Amino acid sequence: MGDELYVVIQTENMPERKIKMNLKQGDKKVLADVQTAIFVTEEGSDTANILFTATVGQFAKKNKDTITNASNFTDYAIAKITLKSTNEEDNKKYAKALKAAKDKKAKLYIAMDAEPADNDWASVQYEEIFDNRPNLWYYGSGEWFEVNESRLYKKGDKGDVVREINIRLAGFGGNVPSENFTKRTEKTVIQFQEDYMKIDPTGVVSEKELKAIDEFSDKYPISFDQMKCDCGKCTGFGKGKFSSEKQKKTILEKNRKYEYPGIHRSIIYGLKGVLFYLDNTEKSLNYSFNKISSGYRCHIDNEQNDRASTNHMGKALDIHFNKDGKRTRKVSDIEDIRSKIFKKYLGAKFDWKAGQKNIFNLESTKVGAQRLGYG
């Protein structure tokens, strides 16, 4: 459930005729009673329905300039639908039914009809059907159309998808880039569901949450040019110096000299979360993002500026913010953002103190009064 699919109907001698369709429950009750249609959402519609339509030849005409073989589909009616309702109660009911079903599957069939010429329904003669697939104007053998339970990611799962979830939701609780779906992951998912998706939280990631995470990622772009090193001699993200220190667990991260090959994605997605909260939940504070004032700083840049810190070698950003549309340098404003955004929503601590592992840290006022450094 939740997947998008195309329903493709081949016709003969029916140009520009409208084909009406349903997805109906098969021989056993799962999502609905037998031979009862389920709700789907048609492309371009904000409201789910049990009925969806496609016009013969419309797909070919609409895509003639973008699909090279579009003319091959002149006699086809093609509809794009999503297997879900716009009513969350329907979706919960479907999900619960699939979870309880044998093999977690529901067998459906496609019922269809075509508007007769001149809308003369009295002239239509239907073929008598003797089994439980009462398709109209079309009757053919074939396999059942099976709908599976969506893949769910929950506490205890692990893998690359879970790692990506942990990274992309770093701005919702400050999680770490682990491949494990932990209690901490569950909390970040709940925060994302409540604050961004505005739905009742479950702490479980389904196809719906994955799509929302993609939407969130695209909605708050951050310029990589602002993150590049200013030395003029490295790649923009160092040269990989001190690679021998990369995996040494005996070296504290704040002392590690290794030039990471970019800015850690958790830092970037943490900032995306900050932009979301400034633009939505905490919009009344009247703060907004100004720019990344300092991103990557390699060893060459350190030499040019007589510094020795290593936190900006892929692990930190310095950020400027606006107040009422103008860049603010007020200590009180920076403190406000630290407290009401970073600490509240990312769970950030201060100044990389001993014992503060696997969390976001902020420079306190005594370290960076007029900018916000975090990593």
- Of 211, 214, 169, residue with least CA distance to 192: 169
Judge whether 21 and 51 are in contact, CB under 8 Å. yes
Q: What is the 3-state secondary structure (H, E, C) of 68-116?
A: CCHHHHCCEEEEEEECCCCCHHHHHHHHHHHHHCHHHEEEEEEEEEECC
Instruction: Output the pLDDT for position 61.
Output: 87
Determine if the pTM surpasses 0.85. Answer: no
Instruction: Output the pLDDT for position 108.
Output: 84
Chunked into runs of 10 residues, the chain (375 residues) has average pLDDT values of 80 84 84 86 87 88 74 86 85 84 80 71 52 40 51 89 94 90 95 96 91 93 90 93 87 85 90 95 95 93 93 89 94 90 87 66 63 45
- Alpha-carbon distance of 73 to 187, in angstroms, equals 48
